[in-house]
Amino acid sequence: MASVCSLPAVLTRGRAVGVGAGDYSAGVLPAATPRLRFRPMTSGDLDDMARLLGDPRVMEFYPAPKTRDEAARWIAWNEENYAADGFGLWIIETLEGVFVGDCGLTWQDVNGEPKLEVGYHVRTELQGRGLATEAAAACRDLAREHGIADELVAIIHPDNTSSERVARKIGMTRLDDDHGGGGGGIAVRTVLGLRLDRASTGPLGGSDSTP
């Protein structure tokens, strides 16, 4: 289960400099939820992240599961995002400290335009419990509260119905198809989104308004 589809090419793509700075204070984490808490990803998470990103079921809609070296690059990319943007994908864990996966906010390219994306990966054995939705909603609320961007998107493989359900549960609707593929070998990716302006809680206009 995931909405982020673009490693490794995303590692070298330029950031959306000056887009949606808002009043966000670097290092502020999403609020804890009834079952989950967030913390920054570090090199100490390599074993857990390598198992997560190396799981063929978690990575079903990526070109391939990630190697341990690629998982290390994933962590490094997020540490770079923290330094440059103040946010990235964070570790999500239970309130007791059990590793669940990752979830967070990153700048992604959608048809040549920088967009703020919420992405998530949850351990296979913990899927189907609403944890990805819970974490993604907390990230949505952080982005809205701090005015990081005007809109939030989820970029999803067209066959990844589980990830699309998560996006819809946090208020997103179908916006467009991305034809850039993010360098991940996917010709067309589905883009869902919602408005983040504080006066609105509704989705962006799009071609599919199914709730």
Mean pLDDT over 19-33 rounds to 72
Residue 167 pLDDT > 50, yes or no? yes
> Distance between CA 131 and CA 153 in Å, rounded?
19
Residue 139 has pLDDT above 60, yes or no: yes
In tens, the pLDDT along 67-104 reads: 999 999 999 999 999 999 999 999 999 999 999 999 99
Helices 46-53 and 68-85, interaxial angle, to 10°?
Answer: 110
Structural domains counted in the chain:
1
Asked, for residue 11, whether it belongs to a domain, the answer is no
| Portion of the chain with pLDDT greater than 70, in percent | 77
Rounded CA-CA distance 193/16 in Å is: 18
Structure tokens, 81:
């995002």
> C-alpha distances in angstroms, 144 versus 22, 83, 149, 162, 195?
9, 21, 8, 24, 9
Judged against a pLDDT cut of 80, whether residue 202 lies above it is answered with no
Q: What is the DSSP string of 21-55?
A: -TTPPTTPPPPP-SSEEEE---GGGHHHHHHHHT-
Q: Is the pLDDT of residue 184 over 90?
A: no
Has residue 206 been placed in a domain?
A: no
Indicate whether 32 pLDDT > 50.
Answer: yes
For residue 114, the Cα-to-chain-centroid distance in whole angstroms is 14
DSSP codes joined into one string, 47-85 = HHHHHHHT-TTTTTTSSSPPPHHHHHHHHHHHHHHHHHH
Domain hosting 39: range is: 29-195
Give the domain CATH number at 113. 3.40.630.30
Mean pLDDT of 192-210: 57
Residue type, 43: S
pLDDT at 26: 64
Is 190 strand, coil or helix? strand
pLDDT for 17: 39
The answer to the question of residue 37 being in a domain is yes
The mean per-residue pLDDT over the stretch 155-178 comes to 95
Please tell me the predicted confidence (pLDDT) of residue 9: 40
State the pTM of this model: 0.84
Q: What are phi and psi of 93, to 5 degrees?
A: -145, 160
Q: 129-138 pLDDT, tens per residue?
A: 999 999 999 9
| Domain annotation covers residue 21 | no
pLDDT at 20: 46
The answer to whether position 51 is within a domain reads yes
